């Protein structure tokens, strides 16, 4: 899924009243969350929480 498609999905979800937990990092690299560091650890924790319900 490309970024414009992902943004369109977010908009459609919002129009339907769904919160999909959107997080987009300004000027972030595509795989930045796989790089070591505090920001990556926080992003992975946020994704884990979202997936676990």
Tokens encoding 28:
């972030």
Question: 1-52: per-residue pLDDT in tens?
Answer: 688 999 999 999 999 999 988 888 787 777 777 788 888 888 888 888 888 8
pTM equals 0.59
- C-alpha 35/C-alpha 31 separation (Å) is 7
Per the CB < 8 A criterion, the answer to whether 33 and 43 are in contact is yes
Per the CB < 8 A criterion, the answer to whether 48 and 36 are in contact is no
């Amino acid at each position: 899924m490309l970024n414009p498609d992902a943004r369109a999905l977010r908009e459609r979800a919002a129009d339907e009243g769904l919160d999909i937990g959107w997080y987009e990092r300004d000027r972030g690299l595509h795989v930045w969350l796989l790089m070591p560091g505090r920001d990556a650890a926080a992003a992975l924790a946020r994704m884990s929480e979202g997936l676990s319900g």
